[in-house]
């Protein structure tokens, strides 16, 4: 019986440490790491990608290749969360400022619940105009 109560007590103290990661923070962390392969796992089957002035809808694989090429040329040094909307459980939005050392970009993305999980449906990269 003592073992049972000890187990319950340990679980009671460990449960707050086990938190679900906020999807907006997860995307920001993947970008900071330059982990586009991990990011592409969050893509919906079709993703609207805006890269500077080029705007198009791509398949999950195509979007991954385009973003991989971009982030290979512009390796993130620092990522700062500028804005987030996470009040709706079916819709999330984030805006990041990504510093690559020589250039600064504004990255905006939209996550929408699809088939029970949040998936990236839109990803925008533009040069940051305000320094």
Residues 6 or more apart whose CB falls under 8 angstroms from that of 84 comprise 24, 92, 93, 94, 95
Residue with tokens 């999807």: 23
Is 20-127 a CATH 3.40.50.410 domain?
no
96 with 90: CB under 8 angstroms?
A: no
| pLDDT tens per residue across all 131 residues of the chain | 666 656 665 655 554 444 457 899 999 999 999 899 999 999 999 999 999 889 999 999 999 999 999 999 999 999 999 999 988 889 999 999 999 988 999 999 999 998 888 999 999 999 988 65
| DSSP character string of 60-108 | HHHHHHHHHHHHHHS--SEEEEEEEEEEETTEEEEEEEEE-SS-EEEEE
| Predicted pLDDT at 17 | 43
Give the start-to-end residue ranges of the domains of the chain: 20-127
End-to-end CA distance of the chain: 63
Tell which residue, 64, 112, 105, 116, has the closest CA to residue 91.
112
């Amino acid at each position: 019986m003592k073992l049972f109560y000890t187990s319950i007590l340990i679980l009671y103290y460990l449960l707050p440490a086990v938190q679900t990661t906020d999807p907006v923070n997860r995307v920001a962390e993947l970008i900071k790491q330059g982990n586009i392969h991990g990011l592409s796992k969050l893509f919906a089957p079709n993703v609207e990608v805006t890269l500077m002035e080029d705007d198009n809808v791509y398949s999950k694989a195509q979007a991954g290749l385009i973003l991989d090429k971009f982030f290979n040329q512009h390796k993130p040094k620092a990522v700062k969360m500028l804005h987030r909307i996470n009040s709706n459980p079916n819709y999330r939005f984030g805006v990041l400022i990504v510093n690559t050392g020589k250039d600064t970009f504004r990255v905006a993305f939209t996550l929408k619940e699809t088939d029970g999980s949040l998936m990236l449906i839109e990803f925008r990269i533009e040069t940051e105009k305000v320094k």
